[in-house]
């Protein structure tokens, strides 16, 4: 994009603004790298601010842990939801028996994986908050003491 600027004495100067300001690549959907970064940021926030404040911020739909179709969830290792960036009605519920559209017990699998390893990726199907369609999802999770903090991307 070029812009004409009138200078003193009536001389016109051409400024190529596009060359000076790099274009920001903004996509409609979150990436794997963004999911990893968001989970790490969430874990650090909980560690630095305590569970109550951390879980409240993660659940805040207008907070720093919701970005397009990316949001965080926090589960206890028994399947109880402590924070949910998309659906606060899930907080306090034990979802260990929750199945995806294919019958996969994804919460049970998630907490079992969290008990065995500190970080992992998990695949299942879930409703994308942007498209409102059930889509394949990849969830990145990190264990933090007796909870697991997760954020995922949808595979469109």
| C-beta neighbour count of 133 within 10 angstroms | 9
DSSP H helical ranges for the chain: 17-20, 32-49, 51-59, 106-116
Domains and CATH numbers, the chain: 30-154 (3.30.450.20)
Q: Give the chain's mean pLDDT.
A: 86
| C-beta neighbour count of 121 within 10 angstroms | 15
Q: Which residues pair with 2 in a beta bridge?
A: 16
- What is the gyration radius of the CA atoms in the chain, in angstroms? 21
| Phi and psi at residue 6, to the nearest 5° | -85, 120
pLDDT in tens, 105-144: 999 999 999 999 999 999 999 988 888 899 999 999 999 9
pTM of this structure: 0.81
pLDDT in tens, 7-23: 444 443 333 333 333 34
pLDDT in tens, 93-115: 999 999 999 999 999 999 999 99
């Amino acid at each position: 994009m070029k812009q004409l600027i009138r200078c003193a004495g009536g001389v016109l100067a051409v400024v190529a603004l596009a060359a000076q300001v790099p274009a920001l690549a903004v996509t409609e959907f979150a990436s794997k790298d963004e999911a990893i970064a968001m989970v790490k940021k969430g874990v650090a926030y909980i560690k630095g601010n305590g569970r109550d404040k951390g879980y409240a911020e993660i659940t805040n739909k207008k907070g720093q842990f919701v970005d397009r179709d990316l949001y965080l969830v926090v589960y206890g290792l028994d399947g109880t939801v402590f924070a949910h960036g998309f659906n606060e009605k899930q907080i306090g519920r034990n979802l260990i028996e929750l199945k995806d559209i294919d019958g996969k017990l994804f919460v049970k699998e998630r907490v079992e994986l969290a008990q065995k390893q500190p970080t992992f990726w998990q695949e299942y199907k879930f409703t994308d908050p942007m498209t409102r369609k059930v889509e394949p999802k990849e969830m990145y999770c990190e264990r933090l003491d007796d909870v697991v903090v997760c954020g995922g991307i949808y595979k469109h």
